[in-house]
Structures are given as structure tokens and as C-alpha cells.
Amino acid sequence: MKPYNSNAVATVAAAFALILPTASDAEAAQRSARLDVSAIAEYVYPENGVKRPARMLFEATGATYLTLADGGKKIVRHDTATGKELETVFDASHTRESSISAVEDFTLSPDGTKLLIQTEGEAIYRRSFKAPYYVFEIKRNILRPLSKQFAMQRAPLFSPDGRMVAFVVDNNIYIKKIDYDSEVQVTTDGQINAVINGVPDWVYEEEFSTASSMTWAPDNSMLCFLRYDESAVPTYDMTLYKGWCHPNDAYALYPGTFSYKYPVAGEPNSKVTVHSYDVETRKTKEVKFSDPAIEYIPRIEYGATDAQLMVVTLNRAQNRMELYRVNPKTTVVKSVLVEQSKAWLDPVVYENLSFTPDGFMLLSERSGWSHLYKYTYEGQMVRQVTTGNYDVTAYYGEDLRGNIYYQSEPAGDTSTNPAAALDRVVCSIDRQGKKIEALGASTGWNSAKFTPGMQYALLDHSDAQTPNVYTLVNAKGKTLRTLEDNAAYASRYAAAAKKEFITIPCGNTVLNAYIIRPANMSAMKQYPVIMWQYSGPGSQEVVNRWGMDWERYAADEGFVVVCVDPHGTAGRGAEFKNVVYKQLGRHETADQIAAARWIAQQPWADPARIGICGWSYGGYETLMAATAGDSPFAAAVAIAPVTSWRLYDTIYAERYMLTPGENEEGYNESAPLSRASSLECPLLIMAGTLDDNVHPANTIDFVGELQKHHRYADMMLFPAMNHSIRDCDARAVVYSRMMRFFADNL
């Protein structure tokens, strides 16, 4: 036996001390791995939301409205002008034939005699869901399931006379005939991942902002609908994990697979066709169009008569819209309007088309600014309603006197006064084109919901320093009552850091920006800066509107937060916006870098500690800015980012970039994937594993490219969560991790 060597033991012990943590070290490491979400949770979803009035469903005259009451157990009628409760229309504890515990949502039949009651639903995509529905006959107090065959239905739609309801189950359309308590099957070819009738496919729902593709004739004789043949669209498979938020034990040991049709840029879309169903004869006809360039049909809606089915069509490049008037009984088609653009047609053009008894209202950027134009159903322009170097952003309607109500930027010239783009006002204009004073405030962010007939409006006003105030006004703008002033909410956040608006020079123009500073900033100190942005085409983050989010917490922690709206964003006319056409990321990145360099020159900023972050398109732009050859950023955080537009859907990607075959160079230069080798700053990237919008493959492919070039990123995945990553305090986890990352790297 060799003698015991105390020196050798001491040497080995010393060596292990270098690689093994002590008990106190392990405790410190454990503490550092924890995220304290309690502090930031006060500032982010769901704790950050203002209090809103209960949903008011206005009845036909506008003189009364319905609301949910008693925790969803009752639906109550109120007088609009006074808010006085008039009567209980529905009481879940006193219904005949059927019973439910509570109402989640409801709609009123056009004739006012029935309610369509929705109970707890099940989400499908961003806007779509299915749920058990019931029809409630108000006078008879009878509650019956909408369908006897199916437990859940999608997109139910009352006929104008309230005697029928069309709905979708398993991609087929059915009609419930309430008088006879019977159901008629309209289509039979519906098949998952092949044919859809009456509701949109994934890409239509996401990018055309719709959850229904059906419309009833004014005389109740016909139901018209879109049919989506998505059989040629490539299938996308996503892995299903158990998850920790609403865990699904079915995937605890073996992950599952969710498959759906998702057309990436350049791939086939659904073949969409228009069909009419005759209720009496039960015959279905297809409406055919001769133009082979029609790729999309984003909307169908009836005009004033049963012979005026208005069909909106787009070419694949989405720079040409043609509006058709169709007689669904004869299937005769007539073109009534063509709207074109040198870049893309903003979705506001077709999403805000409004059909009235005497024609339709179009919101068009043909002058370089978004304005209202009134047309007859023959396609003749009656007049241009609004003019000027500012954008009209919403159309609300026309009253019996011919006054037209809309939302816009304050009248002026936002090309010479960019600050005017920060506000929105609710305005009206008479038949002679005389603008009437704004309803409600003339500054801040104002929007409205009008009653039928336009006698009253529910106004929503806020500004950067004032949370939302909801008031009911009459048509002249006189306040009748305040529905919610959020006084308690305002008091709760009274000490939060304030948002200030600035402009930042950029070439021969200036960019709108806001800044949130720590309280009691010292003139003798330089602060780390976080640049938050979205930057997507047609978006606008820098607005004079209330918003409470993680940025206020960041200011409390000693960071300065700056947000900049680059070229491509909204509010400053079509020329400023459309410059990004076919080259996404180029101008936005140049602008964010120019803004960062300007910030670095300010006495309050530490030029060596400027970071950038963003979500979705903002995550994409974060990666573009961080991988630029002259990037000034010391750290970056990208959440749910697109990393190549080749990986994103046809409608969005091609709207701005055309197809990869038409714009190969543009796709290459706009892809963070092709620039991964240029990343020099620390990067944190986060994504949900069930993000059906920006697939997690974007994140995984980018991380792979970093590895190929001997680089790395910190990565955090959220199992079984979608693009919003928001339930179960997950949003607080996202921002807590982001703040920890910036604290460590700035």
C-alpha cells in the first residue's frame, strides 16, 4: 500500500474547487435562474388593460341596446340616451325547453325577435372558433339548440327576416329553419384540409381579417358563399407538446401533430369560387368570372337588392382590385370598379368598402393620401368626399341628412407636419362638402361606434398621458353620459413613467418617435437605451394614444426606451409608406440604425449600451438591424420573428415582395437567414412552439445558421403557445427574460 499523500489530496481538492460550485454558489445560480415576474406583471397583459364598458348591442332604431348582466346569466335592455335599465330580455334561469348556465356572447336577429346565444367556445385560429349555439325566441321565451345534429357550430349567420340561420360544421354549410325546427344541408363536399365551404382558409382569415364567407340576400331567398379548394396547398405540420399552460396530457409521453394548409410565398393558394344557394329550390350555382388574373376573393356582400351581390377580387400581386356586381340567380357578372396601385393596395381599400342603399363608399389612396369616394352601383363616382394631405382611416356611415362620419388624422399636411400623424379625430362632413366640427376631442386618439341611424355614438378617447374615457354623445357631439372614465386605473398608474413625443432627423426628413425616460434622470449620467419597434408596412406605433406595457417598467429599472416609426409605416401618405415595396427591411433597417446613431449623440444616452427589440415584424426588423454590417446595437431581443419571407404566407409576403420567382434578389436581401454570419451582438430569440402564424421554424433555422457560422443566441421556447404567448402570465415571463437579458448585456 502506498503512503497517504496529503499534498496530493490538497491539490485534487483545489482542482475540484475550480470546477464544482460551492453550496452558496449553487444557491446564487439558482436565484439567477429565477425570473421575478411579479414586478413586471403589473405593466403587461393581462394586468395592464383599461376598464371598458360592457358590450352594447344596439337595436334597430338605436334608441335601445342590449348588454350581458349578472355574470352572463341575463341579457338586459337599456335606454340608449340615459342608460336606464328597461327590462330583462333573457334570463338563463327562466327559459323554456332548454337551459344553459351562462351566456358567453350573443347576437340579435335583424328583425329583433330572436337572439343567437353563444356558450363557451373553442378557439381555432386568430379569429375563428366553434361553440355550442342556441336560438332564443324573445316573446315566447323558448331556448333551443341551433343544431340537433352537431354539438358545436361555426360562424352562424341570421337571415334578414330572422327565420333562418346559416352555419358551418366540418367545412359544410347548413341552414337551420327556425319555424320548422329543421336543418338543411347546403354543401356536402367539405373535407378537412381539402375543401372548405362558408368559412375562410387559414391565410384568408389571417390576412384578410375575416371569419365568415357567407352572405344572405336582402329578400332571404338566397345564401351566397365562398368555396375554398385547398387540396393543392402544401400541408404544414406542427408538433403538439403537453405544455405548461392549459396542459394536454395526451401529449405527455408522445408529442402529437397538427396539420393544416399554409401556403408559403410562391406556393399554390386555395382556388376560391363564388356560389349561390336558392333556399326554395335547394339548387346551388357557381358564379364564374372570365378574368384569369383573379387570385383572391377577399369579400362578398350584398348591396341594396337581391340582384346586387358585390364581389371583391384581387390579382396575386394585390395591386389591382376589381369590384363586380353579380346577379346570383342568373349568375350574370358586371364589373363596376377597378382600383390599382403602383405598389400594393392597402387592405383598408377592400376591408372598408361599405355598401349602402344608394351605392358604396370606397377608401382609396389614389391621390397619395387615403380619402373617401362615393359611387353608385353602376360604378359611377358621385363625388370625392374628403381631400387633403392627410389620411382618412375609417368610415363610420351616413345619416338621413346626408352627413358622413369618419375617422382621420387632423386636417393639415402630414408631409410637412409629421406630428399631425400622431392623432386621430372623429369628423363629419355634409352633402355640400362642408366639414363639421369634430365629435369629441380634437387631439389624442379618438374612435367611434355609431348606433343604427347615426343618432348616437360611443366615443373612445385617450392620449399618451390619459387612459381611455368612453362617452356617449349625440350626432352633434354633445356628451350625454360617461360610460367609463378609468379614474381608478389612471390613479393606479399615476406615478408611471411618461411618454414624450420627439422627431429624429433621418436624411432629408424626420421620423416620428416617442421616448420614455426614468424618473429623476441625472444630467451627469448616461443611460442604457432600449429601442422597441414594430416597423411593418402600414403599421404605426408612435401615436398619441394610451398604452401601458413593459416599457414603463424598463424606465423604472433605469433604461431609456425609444420607439421609432421608420419609412414604410402609416400616417404620412402613400409615398412614405410604399418606398419599402419589394425590399422589406432595407429602409426600416437604415432608419433604425440612423435613429440609434442620433440617440448615441444625446447627452443622456450611453452610446455603448443601445439595444433593439421587437415582436413579429418587430422581431424580424430586430434581426435585420442586428445583422447589418454597421450595426450599432450592443444587444438584441427578437420575439416570434420572421427570418425569411420565403417562410411566410403568400398573401402577406407577396403583397409587399411579389413572389420569390419575381423578386429573388429582394427575398435574398431581406432575409435575416442570409445575414446570420454578420451577427456580432448578444441575441435573445423567443418563440412559441405552436405559432401557426410565424412558424417556430423561422427561429430554429436562424439559430442553425448562427451555429454554421460559429455564432450562437440565447433561445427561449414556449411549449404549446401561439404567436401571442400571453396566457398563464407567459407575457410577463417573456418581458422578464428580456429585461434580464438587457440588464446583463447593456
Residue 65 to residue 202: CA distance in whole angstroms: 34
Closest to 570 (Cα-Cα) out of 734, 418, 375, 689: 418
Please report the pLDDT score of residue 9 as a whole number. Answer: 32
d(CA 550, CA 567): 25
Distance CA 116, CA 106 (A): 5
Average per-residue pLDDT in the chain?
94
CA dist., res. 66 & res. 55, Å (int):
8
DSSP state of 563: E
Is the peptide bond between 46 and the residue preceding it cis, with omega within 30 degrees of 0? yes
Average the pLDDT over 553-570 and give the result: 98
Strands 85-91 and 456-463, sheet pairing: unpaired
Dist CA 595 CA 307 (whole Å): 55
In this predicted model, what pLDDT tens digit does every residue of 362-399 receive, in sequence order? 999 999 999 999 999 999 999 999 999 999 999 999 99
Instruction: Find the helix or strand (DSSP H, E) in which 16 lies.
Output: helix 6-19
> Residue 3 — very low, low, confident or very high, per pLDDT cuts 50/70/90?
very low
Confidence band of 106 (pLDDT split at 50, 70, 90): very high
Helix, strand, coil tally for the chain in percent (to 5): 20, 35, 45
**Pairwise CA distance, residues 652 & 584, whole Å:** 12
Residue 293 has pLDDT above 60, yes or no: yes
Digit-coded pLDDT (tens) for 486-538 = 999 999 999 999 999 999 999 999 999 999 999 999 999 999 999 999 999 99
H or E element that contains 203: helix 202-207
Count of alpha carbons within 13 Å of 187, Cβ hemisphere only?
A: 28
Are the beta carbons of 302 and 215 closer than 8 angstroms?
A: yes
Q: Give the pLDDT confidence score for residue 25 in this predicted structure.
A: 46
Question: For position 16, what pLDDT does the model report?
Answer: 31
Long-range pairs of 353-362 with CB within 8 A, sequence gap ≥ 24: 353/299, 353/301, 353/310, 353/312, 353/323, 354/395, 354/397, 355/301, 355/302, 355/303, 355/304, 355/310, 356/304, 356/398, 357/304, 358/304, 360/303, 360/310, 360/323, 361/385, 361/395, 361/398, 361/404, 362/337
**∠83-85-87 over CA atoms, to 5°?**
145
The DSSP-derived string for 275-291 is EEEETTT--EEEE----
Question: Do residues 277 and 222 lie in contact, with contact meaning Cβ atoms separated by under 8 Å?
Answer: yes
Alpha-carbon distance 610 to 633, whole Å?
5
Where along the chain do its domains lie? 32-49+490-745, 288-385
Residue 15 in this model has a pLDDT that exceeds 50: no
**Residue 523 CB contacts under 8 Å (≥ 6 apart), including other chains:** 603, 604
Provide CB contacts within 8 A for 41, sequence distance 6+: 47, 729, 732
Find all residues with CB under 8 Å of 670, minimum gap 6, and list them. Answer: 583, 584, 585, 586, 624, 645, 657
Percent of the chain residues topping a pLDDT of 70: 96
Angle, CA 729 vertex, CA 727 and CA 732 arms, to 5°: 120
Does the structure show a pLDDT above 60 at 314?
Answer: yes
What kind and span of H or E run contains 596? helix 586-600
Between CA 533 and CA 540 the distance in angstroms is: 10
At residue 108 the predicted structure's pLDDT band, cuts being 50, 70 and 90, is: very high
pLDDT in tens, 638-672: 999 999 999 999 999 999 999 999 999 999 999 99
Compute the half-sphere exposure of residue 668: CA atoms within 13 Å on the CB side of its CA: 5
Residue 21 pLDDT > 50: no
Question: Integer distance in angstroms from the first to the last C-alpha of the chain?
Answer: 58
In DSSP terms, 457 is beta-bridged to 450, 473
How far, in Å, CA of 651 to CA of 654, rounded?
6
Write the burial class of residue 239 (CB in 10 Å: 0-12 exposed, 13-18 middle, 19+ buried): middle
The per-residue pLDDT for 378 is: 96
Q: Which residues, 6 or more positions from 361, have their beta carbon under 8 angstroms from its beta carbon?
A: 352, 353, 354, 372, 373, 374, 375, 385, 395, 398, 404
Question: What residue type is assigned to position 336 of the chain?
Answer: V
**CA 185 – CA 702 distance, rounded (Å):** 47
Q: Alpha-carbon distance 273 to 263, whole Å? A: 18
Reported as a pLDDT band with limits 50, 70 and 90, residue 432 is: confident
Assess whether pLDDT exceeds 90 at residue 626.
yes
pLDDT of residue 26: 46
Rounded to 5 degrees, φ, ψ at 81 are -65, -40
- 723 closest CA partner among 699, 697, 696, 742: 696
Mean pLDDT over 566-574 rounds to 97
Distance CA 710, CA 707 (A): 5
Closest CA to 135 of 169, 101, 164: 164
Which whole number is the average pLDDT over 240-249?
Answer: 97
As a whole number, mean pLDDT of residues 723-737 equals 97
Per-residue pLDDT tens over the stretch 343-370:
999 999 999 999 999 999 999 999 999 9
Condensed to tens digits (0 to 9), the pLDDT of residues 441-454 reads 999 999 999 999 99
Lowest-confidence pick of 27-31, 245-249, 463-467, 556-560: 27-31
pLDDT of residue 11: 34
Is it the case that residue 707 has pLDDT exceeding 60? yes
C-alpha cell at 714: 440565447
Amino acid sitting at position 600: A
Q: Is the pLDDT of residue 10 over 70?
A: no
CATH architecture of the region 32-49+490-745: 3-Layer(aba) Sandwich (3.40)
Say yes or no to pLDDT of 542 above 70: yes
Count Cβ atoms below 10 Å from residue 76 Cβ, excluding itself. 18
- Above pLDDT 90, what percent of the chain? 92
Strands 560-564, 509-516: pairing is: antiparallel
Task: For residues 704 and 673, give the distance between their C-alpha atoms in angstroms, rounded to a whole number.
Answer: 9
**Residue 34 pLDDT level (bands cut at 50, 70, 90):** confident
Q: What is the mean pLDDT of residues 103-112?
A: 96
- Residue 449's DSSP bridge partners are 458
Backbone angles phi, psi at 381, to 5 degrees: -75, 125
Asked whether residue 6 carries a pLDDT value surpassing 50, the answer given is no
Q: Do 743 and 528 meet the contact criterion of CB atoms below 8 Å apart?
A: no
Q: Quick one: which of 226, 253, 359, 353 has its CA closest to 305?
A: 359
d(CA 529, CA 587): 22
Q: What is the pLDDT of residue 412?
A: 80
The whole-angstrom separation of Cα 101 and Cα 89 is 16
* Burial group, residue 459, by CB count within 10 angstroms (0-12, 13-18, 19+): buried
What is the distance between the alpha carbons of residues 399 and 539, in angstroms, rounded to a whole number? Answer: 31
